[in-house]
Structure 1
Amino acid sequence: MDNMLALVCKTFDGVKGLEKYDKDGIIDKISGVHGLGRSVGKFLDGRFTVFCLENLRPFYGDVIIDDPQRKLILHRPRFPGGESHPGFLDFAINMIHLDRAHLRFLTVSVHGLRETLFSHLQVYKNRTDIQSALPLIKDGVVSLDGGLLRPNGSFCLGRSKNLEVKFVVTTDVSSLPENVAEMEEQVKHKNWEKEMVLEYMKREEDLLKQVKELYRKQKQELMDYVTQPAVTQVCIHEQFIPFRT
């Protein structure tokens, strides 16, 4: 449940900006998110979870193109015989409704929020379903009655008194901007153009180095000739005077 209440940062610089420390490693309570809390009369005690999108392994599968929420194409977990568990509801990643502003978000690697922030967390009806579906679970699972199994295989038992999580019920009204697909294509095209420009710049830099080296050699040869003693120059010149009868 602790990972269901977390801060999300786009980059690691954002994570570093949340909390500052003095030379002894003590948290600076007047800067970062702690300072923000103090400004509104709230004080942060204990630990809190932060996700950094640029450090998360993205989902490399496909998305449902005609889905306004751009849900991921994930297959239901099945037993070796091919049947699925009746208590399986869906993957949590596809049960979360994203606001329009978040649908527009893209990482540097051109992945959306749904493709980076969430993993293959499964959702079942109750704890009993979790126990009977253990062979199908790899990346953690939650149930509607509060069951929780972490990816490392540890169970969370008992009841939390100080933590309350509520999920807002949403309608299926489309919140996908019409130009999201076009924006993604533009980003990919810009990244391609950037790579082409970098390659062109590298070729030009290599060519410039060659020209500079050639110029340096010719300049040195000219300077060597100009700085030769005058007698030597005269002798060299007289060697080429044509003989006349």
Structure 2
Amino acid sequence: MLPLVFKTYECIKALETYNYDGCIDRTSGLHGLGAAIGRSLDDLFLVISLESLRPCAGFLGFAVNMIHLDNSSLFHVTAAGNGLRETLFYNLFSRLQVYRTRAEMVLARPFIGFGVDDRSGKGDFLCEGAVSLDGGIIRSPGVFSLGSREVVDVRFLKTSATLEMSQKYIETEKQIKEMRCEKEKLEEDMKRALALLKDAKSNFEIKKQDFVKFLALSSLYATQHTSSFLTHNITFLAASASCSKR
């Protein structure tokens, strides 16, 4: 079963209610709807609340996606078509988080932990770290880099015309992705509409055939009833005529 996605947790609460013993009330919510149509929900199903998925305060993104590559470096690709970002920088910074300030980074410590690397197929653990724009560094869970900021070897590119231009490219790319998502959504809506139309046509054909059969049976019944009525009247008239002759 596909997960159900809602904006708020209040919407999720309406899907399932519980009695005083903590057991599921199968007469209300989604369970009640399933019972009403003869399809009970006996298995687990996933529900996602979007308001519970917001990022931590000050989280700017992952470092691998924030690295600015010079135009000359964009042409360094492998035979598979992967560039520096997908190879070198992904290997170095794929788990490194970036925060606006050191204070916000510290508050987000529960979300800076160990990740799992599935690329090798062995599920190896990777240490996630974090940096902040004001020089804070968390090398791994529970391991901090302290001391003078002057010796911290972290540099951030200053705003320049090239960077502003790259931001425009990023914004354009974002708009293209949104348009593609909208297109895919419309295509999915169209598929669902066509499926509903197909079901409606199928149901119409079934009802039509049933109605034609009903008309045929009604016509047969009417014919038989009329024939019986005429036979009865003819017999009655014949009997009456015979009695009159006598």
TM surpasses 0.5: no
TM-score band by shorter chain is: 0.3 to 0.5
TM-score relative to the length of structure 1: 0.35
TM-score by length of 2: 0.34
